[in-house]
Chains A and B, each alone.
Chain A
Amino acid sequence: MDELLKILKQNALESPENIAKMLNLKVGEVKARIAEYEKKGVIRGYQAILNEDQLDLGRVTAVIEVKITPEREGGFNKISSRIARFSEVQSIYLMSGAYDLLLFVAGKDLREVASFVSEKLATIEGVISTSTHFMLKTYKHHGILMETEHEDERLKVSP
């Protein structure tokens, strides 16, 4: 992957000036390349990574395995993008193995998620079955540990 993208993936707030220093580029070049990635749609957005457990949002997240029948035209894509458009659906992936789609669905409470599954998801033509699991706690999200790491224990000066 382009080093520039790696840096932004680690810290989307990194300034073009700093990135230029890290990659030994001109600031203008960094800005132009970021703009280009945004235009091409490689960069889809910038988000903060929250430890939601700390916020007491009273929300639940469910992981839902979905089996579907592929359509004659468009295979899995058509039905997947239909499901993806529901605002409840945070993420959706096509999977290999025992089921076809993996969804991350957020809702106010169990009931809300349950009714999304039974009323909206299960009723879509082509959905064969669903299996819902509720998430209990997040330990690591997008490569970031949710527990605070220990302090630097190294000697302050060493040879």
Chain B
Amino acid sequence: MKTSGSKSPREWVAGHVRDIPRSGIRDFFDIVSTMKDIISLGIGEPDFDTPWHVRESTVFSLERGATHYTSNLGLLELRKAVARYVNRFFKASYDPETEILVTVGVSEALDLALRALINPGDEVMYHEPCYVSYRADIIFAHGTPVVVETRAEDDFRLTREMLEKKVTPKTKLLLLNFPNNPTGATLPRKDVEEIAEFAKKHDLLVITDEIYAELTYDGEHVSIASIPGMKERTIFLHGFSKAWAMTGFRLGYACAPAELTEAMMKVHQYTMLCAPTMSQKAAIEALTNPEFDVTQMREEYHKRRNFLDRSFREMGLPCSKPRGAFYAFPNIGGMGLTSKEFALKLLDEEKVAAVPGNAFGDCGEGFLRCAYATSMDNIKEAMARMERFVKRLRK
């Protein structure tokens, strides 16, 4: 029985959690999941199955009894493999003994980094449109999120000028994500170097979420961790979900200078203990021949990217070139509907699901995120339906 003065369930919830709005993705998911026979361009994970040799070796590791805790940092064999891979692919060198922490996805790695580094009230700059978790994660860590808006006119690149406008004496951290979810934007070397200069000038830490790095279709991927003088102030996050199609394994890692790794490890140790052992075994296998698996999938995404890019142009929807990840972010602002109205109408009339752009930040309003992590046949059909839909709207 409720006595006078006792709290309502809503009041029990911590204020900073209560105040975070429900994710726009979830609202949309609830609607889509009631519908049958839709083609979904709304899925932010690979359609490919995890490479067979990885699955096979996971089963083998279970048979051999790899079902216990590992060290807090993760299996040393995996950390060594990660160090070799990061050195080769990202040109950044980390000591597997002290500078690499294996985590439950980039999701956990990001949470650890924010919690380990932020004091209440520290400002954290991040760019929108962006992955839905960033803002909330910063708030959970009692930081103050500061948005930097990227724009379609600049192909959603992030530039030093944009950052200079938002930096204050309270700014402690800059959070980067390129190739970007949801825009598909990448950063050319020049921008990365200028952002690095910016970080040094203002003595900022950088967290860089490079989970889509391997899925870069035009030009090279440049990690800010590889820029001279940046390793000291960078927390590099990566994982196996995207390029290796291992989302359900829940495995990622953070690479950072020893003292920062130690701080993250402290949080990890008391909240997670260690990442799942069988997934760590799987990751070791994934890293034994990474180029083979990843190249095949990248080539397939690349063709789909081209197909979408051309299709949007043909139907007259402006879309800045998606150069990485598996998302295109066309501008549907000229159609007289909001993102949400457009997405709902498209779903209703043509049974194609794509996520309204404002789910990724206010400045995503007027855009639609179309993920091409689905078969070419689905993409062809979805584009035919969208073209028909757009034509009807224009009448």
B42 on interface, CB distance cutoff 8 Å: yes
Query: Which of A's residues lie within 8 Å of B, judged by CB?
Result: 3, 6-7, 18, 20-24, 152, 154-159
CB-nearest residue of chain B to A152: B47
Q: How far, in angstroms, from A24 to B309 measured CA to CA in the complex?
A: 9
CB-nearest residue of chain A to B376: A22
Knowing A3-B299, A18-B380, the reply to whether A156 touches B306 (Cβ < 8 A) is no
Do A3 and B303 touch (CB < 8 A)?
A: yes
Please classify how large the interface on chain B is, using the bins under 10, 10 to 19, 20 to 34, 35 or more.
20 to 34
CB-nearest residue of chain B to A11: B376
B355 on interface, CB distance cutoff 8 Å: yes
Closest 5 CB pairs of A and B: A157-B42, A22-B303, A157-B29, A21-B310, A21-B307
Do B299 and A6 touch (CB < 8 A)?
A: yes
**Least distance between A158 CB and chain B CB atoms (Å):** 5
- The interface residues of chain A lying within 8 Å CB-to-CB of B42 are 156-158
**Least distance between B351 CB and chain A CB atoms (Å):** 11
Do A24 and B310 touch (CB < 8 A)?
A: yes
Do B132 and A7 touch (CB < 8 A)?
A: no
Do B45 and A154 touch (CB < 8 A)?
A: yes
B33 on interface, CB distance cutoff 8 Å: yes
Which of A3, A156, A157: most chain B CB closer than 10 A? A157
Knowing A155-B43, A158-B43, A159-B131, the reply to whether A22 touches B29 (Cβ < 8 A) is no
- The interface residues of chain A lying within 8 Å CB-to-CB of B38 are 156
Which residues from 1 to 56 on chain B have a C-beta closer than 8 Å to any C-beta of chain A?
23, 25, 28-29, 32-33, 38, 40, 42-45, 47
Do B310 and A156 touch (CB < 8 A)?
A: no
**Least distance between A56 CB and chain B CB atoms (Å):** 28
Q: How far, in angstroms, from A152 to B25 measured CA to CA in the complex?
A: 19
- The interface residues of chain B lying within 8 Å CB-to-CB of A21 are 306-307, 310-311
Pull 8 A–B residue pairs with CB atoms less than 8 Å apart, ordered by A. A3-B299, A21-B307, A22-B304, A154-B45, A154-B47, A156-B40, A157-B355, A158-B45
